[in-house]
Amino acid sequence: MDFSALQSTSKITDEWRYPDVAPRASGLLQVDRDPDHRLYWEEYGNPGGEPVFVLHGGPGGASSPVMARYFNPARYRIVLFDQRGCGKSIPTVAVNGPATALAKNTTAHLIADIERLREELGIEGKMHLFGGSWGSTLAMAYAIAHPNRCANLILRGIFLGAPEDLRFMYQGNAASFEEKPYALIEPGSYISYPEAWARFLAPIAPADRGDVMKAYKAIFDMNPTTDAERQRQLEAALAWSVWEGTISNMIPDESDEGKFGEAAFALSFAQIEAHYFANNLFMTPDHIIDNAATLAQIPIHIVHGRFDLICPLTQASRLVAALSESGSAPATFVITNAGHSAMERETALALTAIMDGLPAMDT
């Protein structure tokens, strides 16, 4: 039975307000040495327009030209870039290995990279930060460090990265899955995606499923010396990556895994995520919530899918409560009938409407 028409109803297609265009400039910016890290960046839109930095998800994802379509190209100077270790930045985990690409790869380094890129592009005043999922986390972490640089934060699929947030996505009923695969032992993403959950757990031996993230990290930390070990590592990376890609969509397209099923993307994506998650995102616990008073000084616009099972709506609700308690509720808080993906129709249209409706800023 062909469910492609049903699947397509949840994704934005011809409804984009702004066209898909080529970047007007791009480059590689050296941001570190020993090892060298160079960030790939692209610019779209009006070179004299309001600057907006687009922060992709993951950690370990990549930018894509489609991310420029949320913005009026006559109004905005749109900056896309790939964070350290992934996409077209150099080195990458997939090509150069984790020992090189994960060296000097922390949240503090990524915040510093945004500053370096801002300076390289000659952006002296304030800018908008637009980020989803991990991109929302990084945008808020940057804003806490540099509040005077931020005109607006436009955030989608809020990710706070607390231990319970990660357990919801990666642990669920894993410990008892072998004996009771359909038991609702704990809350988690697995409840709505049982077949995909089984595929995600397959690379992990039942005895190691008491801590699934730790078990995956052990596979990623191997220094493979045989084809069998390399294949095991690749299969684990693909399982990790495809799990996230599948549950990003309220109605997954089972016939097309997209970039999440590509070996090069998966090796970088999975290993960078595991690296950050094993280190508590390289932030103190509740860093974002504890600094809500700083964030509350900046206009914040939030779009979150009601059916998001990567970053459940409770994370956005927790942030909204913390901002309100600090004296300033978000300027916008839109809950869409969507899942996690920024490509779902209601979410994409809401984000575009917010960008169109922001008060003009001086450039």
**Pairwise CA distance, residues 108 & 101, whole Å:** 15
Active-site option among 10, 63, 89, 133: 133
- For 249, the 3-state DSSP assignment is coil
Active-site option among 82, 113, 165, 308: 308
Q: Omega into 73 within 30° of 0, i.e. cis?
A: no
Number of H helices, E strands in the chain: 14, 8
Tokens of 109: 């380094």
Catalytic residue check, 362 = no
Residues paired with 131 in a beta bridge: 55, 155
Quick one: CA dihedral 284, 290, 294, 296, positive or negative? positive
Catalytic residue check, 133 = yes
Reference 133, options 362, 296, 353, 344; nearest CA is: 344
Quick one: CA dihedral 30, 64, 137, 164, positive or negative? negative
**Pairwise CA distance, residues 135 & 83, whole Å:** 10
Active-site option among 275, 287, 304, 340: 340
**Pairwise CA distance, residues 200 & 323, whole Å:** 35
**Pairwise CA distance, residues 78 & 70, whole Å:** 10
Reference 330, options 341, 338, 318; nearest CA is: 318
| In contact, 316 and 300? CB cutoff 8 Å | no
Catalytic residue check, 308 = yes
Q: What is the dihedral of CA 341, 288, 354, 47, to 10 degrees?
A: -100
Catalytic residue numbers read: 133, 308, 340
